[in-house]
Structure 1
Amino acid sequence: MGFVIDVLGWVGTIALLFSFWLLTVKRVTSDGYRYHALNASGAFLLAITTAQAQAWSAVVLNATWCLIACTGLIQALKKRPEPGPDEVDGVTQGSVRK
């Protein structure tokens, strides 16, 4: 079980650092769903890891970080435009000739 918890902690750490790097190099925006999804998942995984280690101040920090990121994720997904009838994942599909 300890190995699994360690792996979850490393994945969470990488997710948080990767989201910050993406924001810094302007590959994502601070109000985008990708940024918030990475933050939420990373903080959630770190909350699990720190709870296992009984590091309660870190649990509170990561759980709060996760809740804030989830709030941002919900807001970002609400703002995301619905694809039109000719779009899949925001890409307009051309007509297909038979």
Structure 2
Amino acid sequence: MNLEWYDLVGLAGTLAILLAFLLLQAGRLAGDSLRYQLLNLFGAAGVLVSLWGSFNLSVFLLELAWVMVSLYGIARSLRARRDRAGRG
């Protein structure tokens, strides 16, 4: 097997998404935590980069949605932190 740089980025992205899910299921991360959202964002971005070598529309749409939902979650997490800091 001959892996290109984008394949390695995609594998790292896949591992990040799986790690985020494992940590969520193990109760080590909260689903609304910034770390969970960032792992998903970077993971999905990595999988998108892997499409450089061989484009797949279904995977592209799935990972694009994953990025968008992760960005939404990050915005919510940051807003909640800001609100908590403003009250304290």
TM-score grouping bracket, smaller chain normalisation: 0.7 to 0.9
Gap runs ≥5 in structure 1: 83-98
Q: 2-11 or 24-33: which moved more?
A: 2-11
- Please report the TM-score for the alignment, with normalisation by the length of structure 2: 0.84
**1:24 and 1:14 mapped to 2: Cα distance?**
15
Quote the residue 2:79 is aligned against: 78
Work out the CA distance in 2 between the residues paired with 1:65 and 1:51: 18
The SS at the match of 1:52 is: coil
Q: 1:37 is matched with which residue?
A: 38
**Unaligned 5+ residue runs, structure 2?**
none
After the TM superposition, which residues 12-91 of structure 1 pair with which residues of structure 2 at under 5 Å, given as runs?
A: 12-80=13-81, 81-82=84-85
Report Cα offsets for 1:4-26 as digits up to 9, x if no partner: 10110111011000000010000
Matched residue count: 81
Q: Distance in 1 between matches of 2:57 and 2:51?
A: 7
Q: Is the 8 A contact 1:43 1:62 kept in 2?
A: yes
- Residue 18 of structure 2 aligns with an amino acid whose one-letter code is L
Percent identity between matched residues is 28
Worse overlay, 33-42 or 50-59: 50-59
After TM superposition, the score normalised by the length of structure 1 is 0.76
Residue identity opposite 2:63 in structure 1? N
The yes-or-no answer on 1:10 pairing with 2:16 is no
1:50 shift after superposition = 2.3
Does the residue aligned with 1:30 lie in a helix, a strand or coil? coil
